[in-house]
């Protein structure tokens, strides 16, 4: 497993497992399988309503807490109530702390995200989270945090896949030492990414699947990535991406697929 060094001195496993849209009734089983495969980085959120299942899987795994990296997120209607929201998440997860706590969306119409960020700074100071960051913060919202507070987010988790690479947001993040996490790294199957000739050719050249080639593209770009699947065989496939490397030409061909093809909601519209 490769790790990314964060700007607060901590490190994060570069490949993780996401539980977005995982049925709460199936979460314990699915996360347990991911941990069996070898994943040690689990990404959940309060709004997913499956933190309890994640917590049960962690407890049943017998894996030492220090070997795990657990992320959860603050939902939009709790920006003014982050300490209580954090307490609820920790209780559901059965943990004393999380490794990373994120503001899930800026929710700009509510205009409380700077206040929420200040609360996260305090929660980190109390040891309830080791690192803090944001999600879905495009340039205006990220720049405002940088301008109005003195703590730089450790990460910015954004929609990122070959058709939608958000170069301006990535540039601002990198200029300020903020690691990028890719959500929807395979495009959420909302366009035929795995059938694109450039992806298929790169995969074939290395004896890998198209999904593995795209995950490798994320890793070589330095992004933290957590593909989501409910199937153990796909978990294994997604995990077997550290034994090959795309060439510069293959990387460039996949990068050239950029077309501002967002498949999720725009951060300005989620409140």
Tell which residue, 184, 176, 170, has the closest CA to residue 139.
Answer: 170
Which burial class, exposed, middle or buried, applies to 50 when counting CB atoms under 10 A from its CB (0-12, 13-18, 19+)? buried
Start-to-end CA distance of the chain, whole Å, equals 36
Per-residue buried b or exposed e for 186-216, using 16+ beta carbons within 10 Å of the residue's own CB: bbbeebebbebebbeebbeebebbbbbbbbb
Report the chain's mean pLDDT, rounded to a whole number.
97
- CB neighbour list of residue 87: distance below 8 Å, 6 or more residues apart: none
Residue 77 has pLDDT above 90, yes or no: yes
What CATH number is given for 3-191+221-229 in this structure? 3.20.20.100
Please identify which of the residues 48, 113, 141, 191 carries the catalytic annotation.
48
Q: Specify the pLDDT at position 21.
A: 86
Burial class (CB in 10 A: 0-12, 13-18, 19+), 61: middle
Residues in the chain: 271
pLDDT of 198 strictly over 90: yes
Task: Tell me, yes or no, if 48 is annotated catalytic.
Answer: yes
Tens-digit pLDDT profile for residues 106-139: 999 999 999 999 999 999 999 999 999 999 999 9
pLDDT digits (tens, 9 = 90+) for 222-238: 999 999 889 999 999 99
pTM comes to 0.96
């Amino acid at each position: 497993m490769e790790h990314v060094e964060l700007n607060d001195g901590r490190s994060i496993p570069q490949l993780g497992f996401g539980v977005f849209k995982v049925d709460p009734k199936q979460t314990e089983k699915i996360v347990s399988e991911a941990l069996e495969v070898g994943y040690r980085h689990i990404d959940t959120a309060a709004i997913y309503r499956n933190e309890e299942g994640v917590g049960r899987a962690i407890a049943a795994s017998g894996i030492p807490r220090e070997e795990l990296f657990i992320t959860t997120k603050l939902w939009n209607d709790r920006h003014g109530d982050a300490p209580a929201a954090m307490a609820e998440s920790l209780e559901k997860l059965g943990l004393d702390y999380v490794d990373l706590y994120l503001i899930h969306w800026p929710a700009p119409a509510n205009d409380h995200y700077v206040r929420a960020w200040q609360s996260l700074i305090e929660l980190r100071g109390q040891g309830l989270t080791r690192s803090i960051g944001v999600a879905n913060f495009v340039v205006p919202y990220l720049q405002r945090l940088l301008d109005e507070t003195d703590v730089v987010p450790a990460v910015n988790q954004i929609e990122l896949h070959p058709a939608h690479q958000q170069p301006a947001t990535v540039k601002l993040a990198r200029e300020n030492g903020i690691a990028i996490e890719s959500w929807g790294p395979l495009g959420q199957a909302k366009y035929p990414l795995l059938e694109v000739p450039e992806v298929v050719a790169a995969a074939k050249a290395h004896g890998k699947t198209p999904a593995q080639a795209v995950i490798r593209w994320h890793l070589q770009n330095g992004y933290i990535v957590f593909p989501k699947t409910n199937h153990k065989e796909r978990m294994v496939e997604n995990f077997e991406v550290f034994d090959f490397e795309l060439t510069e030409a293959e990387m460039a061909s996949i990068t050239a697929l950029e077309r501002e093809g967002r498949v999720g909601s725009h951060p300005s519209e989620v409140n």
